[in-house]
Amino acid sequence: MTQTIRILVVDDEHYLADLVATALRYEGFETAIARSGAETLSQVGAFRPDLIVLDVMLPDGSGMETCARLRRDGCEAPVVFLTAKDAPEDKIAGLTIGGDDYVTKPFSLEELIARIRAVLRRTHRAEQGSARLSLADLEIDEDAHEVRRHGTLIDLTPTEFKLLRYLLVNAGRVVSKRQILDHVWEYDFGGNDGVVQTYVSYLRRKVDASGPPLIHTVPRVGYIMRLPREA
C-alpha cells in the first residue's frame, strides 16, 4: 500500500493553520501543525513530513531562518512559504534559502493545494524516477499510464484510470461520492452522483475480475480500496 504523504503546516495564526490542515486532510494528506520555529524543528524530527507549509512571519523569528536551519540539519522536505510580502526580492530570498515555492497572502485553498501538489510531483518524481502506485498485486504506472494486476495489463479509459488512481492514492480511507466527483470529474453534475456508481461498477469488472476484490462499498458513506478482510 502506498504511504500517505505527510504535510507539516506552520503558522501562528491558529484559524489559518487549522483551516489549511483541515483542507489538506480532506485531500487525503496526513497533517500536523506547528506554531513557531522551535516547534517546527521539533515536529520535523517527530512527524517526519514529506512537505512543509511554512509561514515567513513566526513569533520566535523568521520562517526563512527556520528553513535555513532545517537545511543545515539535513532536512530535505520541500518547503512552500506563506507570506504577505510579494516583492520580487522577497520571493528570490525565500527560494534561495531553500524554499521550493512561495504563496502570498491572501490566497485560495485551491491555489495552495495545487501548488503543493505541483511541488510534490516535481520532488517525488525526481526522487523516485517514476510514479508507481500499488496495492497487493495491483499496480499503476503513472508515467506509462498503465494498470496491471498479476502482471497482466488492464485496459482502462482515461476516466476509469483517473478514478482508480484516486481510490488507490486514498487506499485504506473511505471517500464519498461527492469527493470522487470533485477530484475525478472536477465539474458539477447538479447533485447527481449516479455516474460514480456506474464507473465504480466498470472498474470492478476490470480490476477485481482476476483476483480478490480491492474496491469495497461502505453503505451510505462511499468507497474504500483495501485488501479483503479475512473471515
Q: What is the mean pLDDT of the chain?
A: 84
pLDDT, greater one: 67 or 183:
67
pLDDT, greater one: 231 or 153:
153
Torsion of CA 152, 155, 161, 166, to 10 degrees: -30
Percent of the chain residues past pLDDT 90, beyond the cut: 37
Half-sphere exposure of 11 (CA within 13 A, CB side): 19
Inter-residue contact 59 to 80 (CB < 8 Å): no
Residue among 113, 107, 83 nearest 95 (CA): 83
Residue 150 has pLDDT above 60, yes or no: yes
Residue 2 has pLDDT above 70, yes or no: no
What is the tens place of the pLDDT at every residue in 174-200?
888 888 887 787 555 555 678 889 999
Confidence category of residue 141, pLDDT binned at 50, 70, 90: confident
Distance CA 166, CA 203 (A): 12
Confidence category of residue 7, pLDDT binned at 50, 70, 90: very high
Inter-residue contact 60 to 70 (CB < 8 Å): no
pLDDT at 61: 87
Q: What domains can you pick out in the chain, each with its CATH number?
A: 6-127 (3.40.50.2300), 132-225 (1.10.10.10)
Least confident of 115-129, 132-146, 168-182: 115-129
pLDDT at 52: 95
Confidence category of residue 1, pLDDT binned at 50, 70, 90: very low
pLDDT at 129: 46
pLDDT, greater one: 117 or 131:
117
What is the tens place of the pLDDT at every residue in 24-38?
998 889 999 999 999
**Which distant-in-sequence residues (6+ apart) come within 8 Å of 229 by Cβ?**
none
**Residue length of the chain:** 231
In the three-class reduction of DSSP (H, G, I as helix; E, B as strand; rest coil), residue 179 is classed as helix
Least confident of 23-37, 116-130, 131-145: 116-130
Half-sphere exposure of 33 (CA within 13 A, CB side): 16
Residue 20 has pLDDT above 90, yes or no: yes
